[in-house]
Amino acid sequence: MAERQRVGVLVSGRGSNLQALIDAAGAADFPARIVGVISNKRGAYALERARAADIPSATISHRQFEGRAAFEEALIAQLRDWQVDWVVLAGFMRVLTPTFIRAFAPRILNIHPSLLPAFPGVGVQQAALDYGVRVSGCTVHLVDEGTDTGPIIAQAAVPVRDDDNAESLAARILVEEHRIFPAAIRQIISKPWRLVGRRIVFEDAP
């Protein structure tokens, strides 16, 4: 088996998607290992998950910097210190500038709780309910310089129930996030691929 790719994960909150990745990386045939976790929020429970798994972690609060440029310089420096091959956004609630994107693209992955290109940004479950959709879901995509506009790797659909509110819909979508995020990371790392325009083409695809 080829040497595992080195992954750095950015988080802001509970880190349930981080835990799904930690669990997946425990398999001997998983093509990546998490070499570091960064949170922009002190006390984020995701940091406890990293510590429990003996993964190096750091808190780099955006509040301690004068602006986004200095904050991102610190993120980039820490990720490069860990010699990451990939950057994974697992509930990281900060918009990244082109400076950060260009430092690691096209090897930045994100999980988003809607069926992109529908409902990018935040507050997406309520937006989906307000619009009246009957199906929502989640998307794993490469990160580009837009907001949730990068090439799609994987999606999972979740039916919207008549009695759903934003919280109940989000909870069911989260179950699918935990399933497809590790699977998408396995696919993008282990299979040859290239970008054709804004589309990902896997070399073994017909």
Instruction: Identify the CA nearest to 5 among candidates 28, 26, 27, 35.
Output: 35
Q: What CATH code is assigned to 110-206?
A: 3.40.50.170
What is 1-104's CATH number, 3.30.1280.10, 3.40.50.170, 3.30.360.10, 2.170.130.10?
A: 3.40.50.170
Residue 205 is predicted with a pLDDT of 47
Which residue intervals of the chain bear CATH 3.40.50.170?
A: 1-104, 110-206
Is 62 a catalytic site residue? no
Catalytic residue among 62, 112, 141, 178: 112
Question: 31-61: b or e for each residue (b if 16 or more CB lie within 10 Å)?
Answer: bbebbbbbbbbeebbbbebbeebebebbebe
Q: In this predicted structure, what is the pLDDT of residue 1? A: 56
Report the distance separating Cα 177 and Cα 156, nearest Å.
8
- For residue 126, what pLDDT is reported? 97
CA distance 201 to 206: 10
Q: Output the tens digit of pLDDT for each of the chain's 206 residues.
A: 578 999 999 999 999 999 999 999 999 999 999 999 999 999 999 999 999 999 999 999 999 999 999 999 999 999 999 999 999 999 999 999 999 999 999 999 999 999 999 999 999 999 999 999 999 999 999 999 999 999 999 999 999 999 999 999 999 999 999 999 999 999 999 999 998 887 898 886 44
- Which of 50, 60, 56, 46 is closest to 13 using CA atoms? 46
